[in-house]
Amino acid sequence: MSDAGRFGIDEQPVFVIDQSRCIGCEACVQACMECGTHRGRSLIHLDRIDRAASPQTAPMVCMHCENPTCAQVCPADAIKQTEGGIVQSSLKPRCIGCSNCVLACPFGVPKYMAEIDQMMKCDMCVDRTSEGLKPMCASVCPSEALWFGTIEQFRSRRRGALVRDFLFGRQVVRTKVYTVVDDPTAGPVDVLGVVNTSWIDDPFALEGFL
């Protein structure tokens, strides 16, 4: 394929999420709605972390856990994982709308859609990725907070190392989706270990105003 957005069958592109790059533009939210498997519905999350204090925003796609907590807590066996490791959205005939997955997912990903009484979540644009195309959100993301490509491409383009282990209390969760850290030897991303991050002290030199 001539189009640079399409990967060959023997390439192994990976999904990378790097929340630190997010600028909150919501291109991903808009593009998610264009995904063929759930047109008209956006399944990605984009959160303002603390708008009153900061412009920080962060996207969240399904991380596609190797041992998906959502699938395990599903009483209806409605969440399946493909051999490629993609944790699919709930199977429509099976999902009984109980929201166990919503409450269990350590990453806060599944969405319960009340009007159709069903959970839906990101399936890594399986209509696109199964054809070697980038997912919608990672195609459009202007800041490359959401990125899809081969590990070699990542290394040639970006700083940082790719990791995919997250620590939630005592639970280590390994995911198919990678994230970016400066130092990969510092262990999994310790989700509960960080209270807040600040980047600039007193951006507006407030002493002048008070």
Residue 76 near other proteins by CB under 8 A: yes
Q: Which of 14, 150, 153, 160 is the binder for other proteins (CB under 8 A)?
A: 160
Nearest-angstrom CA–CA distance, 203 and 210: 14
Query: C-alpha angle 155/156/160, rounded to 5°?
Result: 35
What is the nearest approach in angstroms of other proteins to the Cβ of residue 152?
A: 16
What is the nearest approach in angstroms of other proteins to the Cβ of residue 14?
A: 14
- Residue partners of 132: CB distance under 8 A and separation at least 6: 1, 6, 7, 8, 9, 11
Residue 97 near other proteins by CB under 8 A: yes
Answer whether 8's CB lies under 8 Å from 132's CB.
yes
Residue 175 near other proteins by CB under 8 A: no
Q: Which of 13, 15, 123, 177 is the binder for other proteins (CB under 8 A)?
A: 123
Interface of this chain with other proteins, residues 27 to 66, rule: CB under 8 A: 27, 29-31, 33-58, 60
**DSSP letter string over 126-163?**
HHHHTTTBPPHHHHH-TTSSEEEE-HHHHHHH--SEEE
Nearest-angstrom CA–CA distance, 91 and 89: 6
Residue 23 near other proteins by CB under 8 A: yes
Answer whether 92's CB lies under 8 Å from 154's CB.
no
Residue 14 near other proteins by CB under 8 A: no
Residue 156 near other proteins by CB under 8 A: no
Interface of this chain with other proteins, residues 177 to 196, rule: CB under 8 A: 179-183, 186, 189-196
What is the nearest approach in angstroms of other proteins to the Cβ of residue 149?
A: 11
Residue 117 near other proteins by CB under 8 A: yes
What is the nearest approach in angstroms of other proteins to the Cβ of residue 37?
A: 4
